[in-house]
Amino acid sequence: MLERELIGNLPAREDGPVRVSGWVEKVRDQKFVQFVVLRDESGAVQLVNGGVLREADPENPRSDILLDRTGTISGLTHGTFVTVTGELQHNERVKLGGVEIQIDTIEVVSLALPDNPIADDSGLDARLDWRFLDLRRPEQNLIFRVQTTFLHALRQVWIDRGFIEIHTPKLMASASESRAELFEVEYFEGKAFLAQSPQFFKQMAQAAGFGGIFEVGPAFRADPSFTSRHATEFTSVDTELSWVDSHEDVMQLHEELMVAGFAAVKEKHGAEIEKLFGVTVEVPARPFPRIPLAEAKEIVKSRGYEVPRADADMDPEGERQIAAYVKETYDHDFVFLTDYAASIRPFYHMLNEDDPSLTKSYDLIYRGTEISTGAQREHRIDVLEAQAQAKGMDPAELAFYLDFFRYGVPPHGGFGMGLARVLMLMLKQSSIREVTYLFRGPTRLLP
């Protein structure tokens, strides 16, 4: 490994010789002194050259550099990667971290073309076209550090509880959720489908006796919409656990995971998020409010908005309205909407014993947007088969899945959560495109 100091560590270091590597963010070329702002993944620092010599001095071996007689520094284009050695000096007047580096040597490792294809005010599409340059911005870098911390905290909870991490196949012989929004791909002489969710395979782990499992992986939806919260490929955070009494057990696990994730992000990045995004990360209090869907619709109606179809899911405006109500009433950013009608839920959700028109399921709404769906699953094969039939599912296509339930399986439940939606809402970003490493949508397959 090339020896270098991370720029973020410099303020804590003592003055003296130092070697840093990064890319050039800015060059200010004044007559006898040059300033370069150098950035790496951890921060930015000011480099200084000159300020002492006015003309070449044969006695001073650094004379060429100090006067930039080779034009190396004045020729540095934005984005050029360099390695610099020099003298670290603390200086209170330097705004950037209170330190600067007097340049001894500068090596151009990889020169950038002079024309920067994007600027600070470029639109989102242009930024996504040049995503690798866009990701050099400190805000973007922070988003992915936040994502790493968030997922690490979730993993810690799962691991502490003895859950097993699984990786399910994304090529399937049949649909994993519904025929709608299904990508079909050529598969040798036949065809395959891209997994819309790990749903069937995470349930398989229950029949396999794994107890609790989790998966963080891609899910594919041939959804032609251009909303701020839909992608054709997204990262799905999934978990499933055995021996649940109802969806209440799943909601409790869900709460525990969210609290752990938010607490870790607040602790590690709270100050930087505040500085770069002007957003305060709030760790949600437990329990999160729970409202049955039918009641939520009544509440929304009493606020003057009627969800278009009585038998339908909440629409986006309904989600915003119920979130506003929950914020006013409980001062909470999250709400579980529960007891969805069976007519609008997949066949694998368990029905409510007291009212079989309802399912033992929920959606989790965060700041007015759905981030998750969860449920207790139907594990009794005769009931499951009847529910699949009632939904018009093709029994032949489901045969492999139904077999999971013929050889013994514990009661179980779980949820799936869109990772980008959580980050978008946590950091108050306008679209999941901002918080997805490389967004995929109906008209975007590049880069």
Residue span binding ligand AMO (CB under 6 A) among the ranges 84-92, 159-167, 281-289, 365-373 = 365-373
Residue in 22, 86, 212, 374 binding ligand AMO, rule: CB under 6 A? 374
Residue 375 makes contact with ligand AMO by CB under 6 A: yes
Give min distance, CB of 262 to ligand AMO, in A: 16
Residue span binding ligand AMO (CB under 6 A) among the ranges 20-28, 119-127, 255-263, 367-375 = 367-375
Three-state secondary structure call for residue 413: strand
Residue in 46, 49, 372, 429 binding ligand AMO, rule: CB under 6 A? 372
In whole angstroms, what is the distance from residue 357 CA to residue 341 CA? 6
Residue (39 or 349) nearer to ligand AMO, CB: 349
Chain position carrying tokens 């998020």: 273
Tell me, by CB under 6 A, how many residues bind ligand AMO. Answer: 22
Residue (21 or 361) nearer to ligand AMO, CB: 361
Residue (268 or 412) nearer to ligand AMO, CB: 412
Ranges within 274-293 binding ligand AMO (CB under 6 A): none
Ranges within 415-434 binding ligand AMO (CB under 6 A): 415-418, 421
Please name which of 194, 118, 128, 119 lies closest in space to residue 431, comparing C-alpha atoms: 128
Ranges within 59-98 binding ligand AMO (CB under 6 A): none
396 sits in which H/E element: helix 395-403
Angle (CA) 178 419 310, round 5°: 50
Site string for ligand AMO, 186-225 (x = CB under 6 A): -----------x-x---------------------x-x--
Give min distance, CB of 159 to ligand AMO, in A: 20
Q: Which residues of 63-85 are buried (b: 16+ CB within 10 A; e: fewer)?
A: eebbbbeeebbeebebbbbbbbe
Burial (Cβ within 10 Å: 0-12, 13-18, ≥19) of residue 297? buried
In whole angstroms, what is the distance from residue 368 CA to residue 319 CA? 5
Residue 224, CA distances (Å) to 346, 371, 444 in order: 21, 19, 11
Give min distance, CB of 418 to ligand AMO, in A: 3
Task: Determine contact, residues 427/273, Cβ cutoff 8 Å.
Answer: yes
Give min distance, CB of 137 to ligand AMO, in A: 23
Residue 147 makes contact with ligand AMO by CB under 6 A: no
Residue 140 makes contact with ligand AMO by CB under 6 A: no
Give min distance, CB of 98 to ligand AMO, in A: 42
First to last CA, the chain: 29
Ranges within 389-418 binding ligand AMO (CB under 6 A): 414-418
In whole angstroms, what is the distance from residue 353 CA to residue 337 CA? 18
225: which residues sit within 8 A by CB, 6+ positions away? 442
Structure token digits, residue 400:
């492999």
Residue in 38, 241, 253, 371 binding ligand AMO, rule: CB under 6 A? 371
Q: State which amino acid sits at residue 92.
A: E
In whole angstroms, what is the distance from residue 196 CA to residue 177 CA? 6
Residues in the site for ligand AMO, rule: CB under 6 A? 177, 197, 199, 221, 223, 230-231, 234, 236, 238, 370-375, 414-418, 421
